[in-house]
Structure 1
Amino acid sequence: MFKNIILGAFLLVSTFFVAQNTAMSGAEAKVFVTKVSSETKEIKTLQADFIQTKKMDFLDKSIITSGKMSLKSPNTLSWKYTKPYQYSIIFKENKIYINDQGKKSSVDAKSKTFEKINKLIVGSSNGKMFSDPEFAVAYFKNGTSNIAKFTPKSAQLLKYIKQIELHFPKNQTTVSQVNMTEASGDTTNIVFKNTKINAPIPASEFSL
């Protein structure tokens, strides 16, 4: 009985918080897009620490990793995982460069999941994400954030990605959180902290 009461309270609280996400009006969405698109044009570099949480149906526990993300305009992006293992992935010149604990390789940037996250993150630094022809965008807000939800338009892309959400803290134009839901139901959550804009980035951050 006690468990049922706790579960009921949890569901009630969850429903309350979910309900706080409300759709923006057309005018609100226009102001938001214009502000982000305008201010992000000034971004040349972006750095942030991140924590990534991956939930997969066949695993009981989430996979939690952390590291540092570095972005250099127009389209160079580095993810360096430091915990619980060393792993680097760099998107540069339409190639993906990987260093898996000392084992290096490179492939064409054709991943249907992570590559799309990268594309939107790069787009979020130059204001071009909202005009990406591969996605339909819906805009929401709550007490702390503005949220852009990207849904693939093509059936081909929908085979891999169901939706990608980008969260922007109120009065900020850089992404603080990314939520991706894959077609399989698996989810990836990335939270950014200690964001630095237009600070110098050593060339070594974009090399293996």
Structure 2
Amino acid sequence: MRILSLLLFFFSLNLAAQQELSKKEVAQFQEKMTAKANELETLQANFMQTKSMEMIANETVSRGKIYYQNPGKLKWKYTEPQDYIILFIEGKLHINDAGDKSVRNTASSKLFGKIANLIIGSVNGKLLQDNENFDISYFKENDNIIAVIIPKDEHLSQMFSEIQMQFNTENLVEKVSLIEESGDATVIEFSEIQWNKDIPSSVFQP
């Protein structure tokens, strides 16, 4: 399912080369992330998504733009290799596949609702506050902080065995990785991140 590739994702990081944060460091980082998430009104960035599959040698690379507006508007606009738009807004998932539009109600599907929360939480950083649905460990790699997230939810864990979020020195998400049981992996890397800049309302029109 195309939306599942959305997030972000994989290639296992070498945890042996990383240093696990102490409880004090985790508390300090979580405090900074909570403050950062509370300050976030809008976010927009370019992204490159790389999908690798266990049984296929070649990787698939997609590019596009992401837009987020607090509290729950999120748009992924793929421009390469083809036009494809995914828009979460007001409890609905709007898909525009090169002009072919469809709508799904996330409120009527617990699974789609959880996927929507997972995607939005990955963008605004609030996923790190969801201890009910995820076990989270923190590591330091050079100047970056990496959160390794294991889903507790049965349905999510069947799709993603592990989620990794990499934060830069400004506590912004630079990369999200989603690792599947099969070994397939998708990595989404963000660039030219703009924080709390005005986004035209037309961007979130279905």
Does the alignment reach a TM-score above 0.5? yes
Matches of 1:184 and 1:148, distance apart in 2: 21
CA distance in 2, matches of 1:117, 1:190: 14
2:176 — aligned with what? 178
Q: Deviations over 1:5-38 (max 9, x none)?
A: xxxxxxxxxxxx6533111011111101101111
Give every structure 1 segment of 4 or more consecutive aligned residues whose post-TM-superposition deviation is greater than 6 Å. Answer: none
CA deviation string 1:150-198 (max 9, x = no partner): 101133321111011110012x121010011012221110000000011
Change beyond 3 A, Cα 1:50–1:30: same
Which of 79, 93, 109 does residue 82 from structure 1 map onto?
79
The aligned residue for residue 23 of structure 1 is 20
How many positions carry a matched residue from both structures? Answer: 189
Match of 1:9 in 2: none
Q: How far is 1:147 from its partner?
A: 0.8
CA contact (8 A) 1:74 1:122 kept: no
TM-aligned CA distance change 1:134 to 1:120, over 3 Å:
same
Partners in 2 of 1:149 and 1:191 — Cα distance?
16
TM-score (norm 1): 0.84
The answer as to whether partners of 1:113 and 1:160 remain within 8 angstroms in 2 is no
Instruction: Give the share of equivalent positions with the same residue, in percent.
Output: 34
User: Do the aligned partners of residues 115 and 193 (structure 1) sit closer, same or farther apart at CA in structure 2, a change above 3 Å counting?
Assistant: same
Q: How much does 1:113 deviate?
A: 8.6
* Structure 1 contact 117–164 (Cα < 8 Å) conserved: no
Q: Which structure's CA Rg is the greater one?
A: 1
Distance 1:159 1:196 in 2: 34
Whether the 8 Å CA contact 1:112–1:160 is kept in 2: the answer is: no
Structure 1 unaligned spans of 5+? 1-16
Which sections of structure 2, spanning at least 5 residues, go unmatched?
1-13
Answer yes or no: is the 8 Å Cα contact 1:36–1:173 preserved in 2: yes
Q: Is the 8 A contact 1:69 1:80 kept in 2?
A: yes
- The TM-score normalised by the length of structure 2 is 0.85
Counterpart-to-counterpart distance in 2, 1:30 and 1:143:
19
Residue 39 of structure 1: which of 36, 39, 48 is its match? 36
